[in-house]
Amino acid sequence: MIEQMRLRDLGVISEAELPFGPGFTAVTGETGAGKTMVVTGLGLLLGARADYGAVREGAQQASVEGVWNVPVAGAVAERVAEAGGEVEPIGDGRGELFLGRTLTAEGRSRASVGGRGAPAGVLGDLSEHLVVVHGQSEQLRLKSAAAQRHALDRFGGEAVHSARGAYTEAYEAWRAIDAELTQLNAERTERAAEAERLRAELAEIEQVAPEQGEDAELAARAERLANGEELRTAAAMAREALSSEEDAPDVTALLAEARRQLERVPDAALTAVAEQLAEIGYRIGDLAVELSGFLADLDEQGPAELAAVEERRAAVNALVRAHGTLDAALELLETGSARLADLDDDGERAERLAAARDEARAALDERAAVLTAARTEAAGRLSAAVTEELRALAMPDADLTVSVSEAAESAHGRDDVAFLLAPHPGAAPRPVAKGASGGELSRVMLAIEVVIAETDPVPTFVFDEVDAGIGGAAAIEVGRRLARLAQRSQVIAVTHLAQVAAFANNHLSVVKASDGSVTTSSVTALDGPAREAEMARLLSGSDTGAALEHARELLESATA
pLDDT reported for residue 140: 45
**How do residues 483-509 score in pLDDT, each as one tens digit?**
988 988 899 988 889 999 999 999 999
Backbone torsions φ then ψ of 71, nearest 5 degrees: -65, 145
Q: In the prediction, which pLDDT does 410 show? A: 92
Of the segments 14-18, 88-92, 187-191, 363-367, which one has the largest average pLDDT value? 363-367
Average pLDDT over residues 536-550: 85
Q: Which residue has the higher pLDDT, 301 or 507?
A: 507
Q: Where would I find the beta strands (DSSP E) of 393-434? A: 399-410, 413-422, 430-431
Q: What is the pLDDT of residues 392-429, one digit of tens each?
A: 887 888 899 999 999 999 999 999 999 999 888 888 88
Distance CA 66, CA 517 (A): 30
Single out the residue of 466, 473, 461, 462 nearest to residue 393, CA to CA. 473
What's the rounded mean pLDDT across residues 422-447? 78
Three-state SS at 431: strand
Residue 27 pairs with which residues in a beta bridge?
A: 494, 508
**Distance set, CA 214 to CA 286, 294, 322, 327 (Å):** 30, 22, 16, 10
- Give the whole-angstrom CA distance, residue 445 versus residue 132: 12
Contact 122, 111 (CB under 8 A): yes
Computed over every residue of the chain, the mean pLDDT equals 84
Contacts of 108 (CB under 8 A, 6+ apart): none
Statement: residue 515 has pLDDT above 80: no
Percent residues over pLDDT 70 in the chain: 89
Domain extent listing, the chain: 197-344
The pLDDT tens digits for 196-250 are: 788 788 888 888 888 888 888 888 777 766 665 566 667 677 877 877 777 667 8
Q: Are 382 and 402 in contact (CB under 8 A)?
A: yes
Specify the amino acid at residue 345.
Answer: D
Q: What is the pLDDT of residue 166?
A: 96
Rounded to whole angstroms, how far apart are CA atoms 8 and 17? 9
What 3 state SS string does 11-22 have? CCEEEEEEECCC
* pLDDT at 138 (0 to 100): 45
Task: Determine which helix (DSSP H) or strand (DSSP E) holds 63, and give its type and residue range.
Answer: strand 61-71
Q: What angle do CA 242, 245, 248 make, to 5 degrees?
A: 70
In the predicted model, is pLDDT for residue 136 greater than 60?
A: no
Mean pLDDT for the stretch of residues 286-290: 84
- The answer, yes or no, to whether residue 279 has pLDDT greater than 70, is yes
Q: For residue range 373-385, list pLDDT tens digits in order.
A: 999 999 999 999 9
Signed CA dihedral, 445, 450, 456, 462: sign only: positive
More confident residue, 517 or 319: 319
**Is residue 76 a contact partner of residue 93, using CB atoms and an 8 Å limit?**
no
Weakest mean pLDDT among 40-44, 73-77, 423-427: 423-427
Considering only residues 162 and 320, tell me which one the structure prediction assigns the higher pLDDT.
162
DSSP 459: S
| pLDDT at residue 137 in the model | 43
For residues 236 and 238, what is the distance between their CA atoms, to the nearest angstrom?
5
Residues 6+ apart with CB under 8 A from 242: 250, 251, 252, 284, 287, 288, 291
Angle of helix 528-540 versus helix 545-559 axis, rounded to 10: 110
Cα separation, 463 vs 459, in Å, equals 14
- In this prediction, residue 302 carries a pLDDT of 58
Give the span between the Cα atoms of 33 and 11, in whole angstroms.
10
The pLDDT assigned to 66 comes to 93
pLDDT classification of 143: cutoffs 50, 70, 90? low
What local confidence, expressed as pLDDT, does residue 277 receive? 86
Q: What is the pLDDT of residue 229?
A: 59
Q: What is the pLDDT of residue 21?
A: 86
pLDDT value at residue 292: 79
Sign of the dihedral defined by the CA atoms of residues 346, 349, 351, 357, in that order: negative
Q: Rounded distance, CA 444 to CA 481, Å?
A: 12
Residue range 275-287: mean pLDDT, rounded: 87
Pairing of strands 24-29, 490-494: parallel
Percent of the chain beyond pLDDT 90?
Answer: 29
Residue 104 has pLDDT above 60, yes or no: yes
The secondary structure of 358-374 as a DSSP string is: HHHHHHHHHHHHHHHHH
